[in-house]
Structure 1
Amino acid sequence: MAIYYLTFREARALLTGTLEINPDLGKTDTKIEVKKEGNTFVFPDGTIVKEEIIRKIARDEGTVYFIKEGEVFKAAIAREHFYKLVPTIPPTIEINGIRMHRTKDTNPLRDTLAKVNTVNPREGEKVLDTCMGLGYTAIEAARRGAHVVTIEKDPNVIELARINPWSLELFSNSRIKIIHGDSYEVIKKFEDEEFNVIIHDPPRFSLAGELYSEKFYKELYRVLKPGGRLFHYVGNPGKKYRHKDIQRGVMERLRRAGFVRVRKVEEALGVVALKPER
């Protein structure tokens, strides 16, 4: 059964008479033809959507919609928290109004490339991606030939990744292994010196302070091979949290955990570090 994705962009195109639209949030150049019949739009699989629903989508610049099995759904989950895909290209995920990728003056794909390029995973290397999210980091590392273990704590995030067409490679690429669990606990199960590269992109400090702790950094150090590379996303340089410089504290704790050549990477808003060679 076909799934068609709609944002305000596609809805506005339909309302202004452009009946060929992209159905996969810009992931490919694919076009589908939608027919206009009276006050309805008819999609290629026969699904009929009323014009009033298309008008509603056209007004909503903050949400992704999709058509599946003849019905229109929001790509959103309301449980203990509110989760939704945001129609950036590619989409980001928003949890209680907080976006999980940088979108100001960039997009989630450029944001991902900036992070991955700091450690440049190579063919045959093993990569630990501590916080999967929509999986763009894991996908990019796997495309470079690395074998990736990616961890995600929140089942709602995994569910949205399954909905997002830009995340489908997570579930089809044999180089990617997904572990559902808390990185703080899961990392204890890995062998010493198991990974060549670690990409650590945790939620903000106020939401997951344990992932910024020296104890956790020592686990990162333990599972990294000698000479291995670490990238740690921190956030906007110079920002203060309760008058404390988070980035400086991260760098100090990484050094205490044993990492060397710890330095800021301004373009990726994070820190890179190495585990010393023997």
Structure 2
Amino acid sequence: MDELYFLTAREAKRLLLSSGKVRLNLDLRKTNRTFEIERDGEGFVFPDGTRVERDVIERIARDEGSVYFIRNGVYKAAIAGEHFYKLVPTIPPTIEINGIRMHRTKDVNPLQDTRNKVNAVKPKEGETVLDTCMGLGYTAIEAAKRGAYVITVEKDPNVLELARINPWSRELFTGGKIQIIRGDASEVVKKFRPGSFDAVIHDPPRFSLAGHLYSEEFYRELYRVLKPGGRLFHYVGNPGKKYRRKDLQKGVMERLRKAGFVGVRRVEEALGVVARKPEKEKDKD
């Protein structure tokens, strides 16, 4: 893919305040790299030669909640279909589906949110990790940075397309230590051999959207594909909130134990639960 240049309201406002040339970061602050943007009458010329009119820049400057990119024209990083998907200009970006953000962005940025989840299972050099729900791939990228080989699963082609656009997701496609599988995790996991993984990071959509990924049946599959002693982290969400008057974390923990997991406990900083597969079947909590 040709290099894309990204604009948010922040960069657009800087352009509008400039009287001549201005240097801007155009990769959503993934790096410190900057480019020189030139004024051309009532327009602005970007590094690939694309000229963007002032009224377009003014529109972007008013849109605080979206990401735009330039590739022979200006486009919003959004996809409309059965659902509405868009990148949100947090740093790093998160993805929003029908107005619901896929990362925590209050009191923590998506990168720290990711690190909290990965820290719960502490992948090591040479281990194999299953990331059940890829999203923008930050979990897979973080685990790979720690030396693990990662298999990550994504069901939604629209999410995959936004990951391909997002500069913070680039290592998914270039790092060499991450394999992406298209499909529903509940079906994909059945194809793995027993004991294939040292760790599983399970960060599913909310229960109302993907209840089958919170089922005892699915947990038994995760148990099966883990090696003896393998670790699981399961993101559940805010432990202070209840779903239909039920404590969702408590229900998750009960089903994990029924599936055979031990050491099941809450991890408050990651808003989830950790568990492990016994080294031997006789192991108890």
Q: How does 1:195-274 map onto structure 2 within 5 Å?
A: 195-274=197-276
Correspondent of 1:37 among 30, 37, 40: 40
Quick one: distance in 2 between partners of 1:225 and 1:2?
41
- 1:187 matches 2:182: no
Quick one: distance in 2 between partners of 1:267 and 1:62?
26
Paired AA for residue 15 in structure 1? L
Quick one: distance in 2 between partners of 1:26 and 1:205?
33
Quick one: distance in 2 between partners of 1:203 and 1:174?
26
Extract unaligned runs of 5+ from structure 1: none
- 1:170 matches 2:181: no
Partner secondary structure for residue 170 of structure 2 = helix
Quick one: distance in 1 between partners of 2:68 and 2:22?
17
Partner secondary structure for residue 241 of structure 1 = coil
Quick one: distance in 2 between partners of 1:238 and 1:60?
32
> How far does residue 161 in structure 1 lie from its aligned partner after superposition?
0.3
- 1:126-145 deviation line (CA, Å, top 9, x unaligned): 00000000000000101111
Quick one: distance in 2 between partners of 1:270 and 1:172?
30
Quick one: distance in 2 between partners of 1:155 and 1:254?
29
Extract unaligned runs of 5+ from structure 2: 281-285
Correspondent of 1:58 among 53, 58, 61: 61
> How far does residue 120 in structure 1 lie from its aligned partner after superposition?
0.7
Partner secondary structure for residue 181 of structure 2 = strand
- 1:146 matches 2:144: no
Paired AA for residue 122 in structure 1? K
Quick one: distance in 1 between partners of 2:210 and 2:6?
32
Aligned length: 277
Counterpart for residue 14 of structure 1: 15
Counterpart for residue 76 of structure 1: 78
Compute the TM-score of the two structures, normalised by the length of structure 1. Answer: 0.98
Compute the TM-score of the two structures, normalised by the length of structure 2. Answer: 0.96
Quick one: distance in 2 between partners of 1:111 and 1:137?
9
Moved over 4 A (4+): none
Counterpart for residue 86 of structure 1: 88
- 1:48 matches 2:51: yes
Partner secondary structure for residue 128 of structure 1 = strand
Give the fraction of aligned pairs with identical amino acids, expressed as a percent.
71
Paired AA for residue 120 in structure 2? T
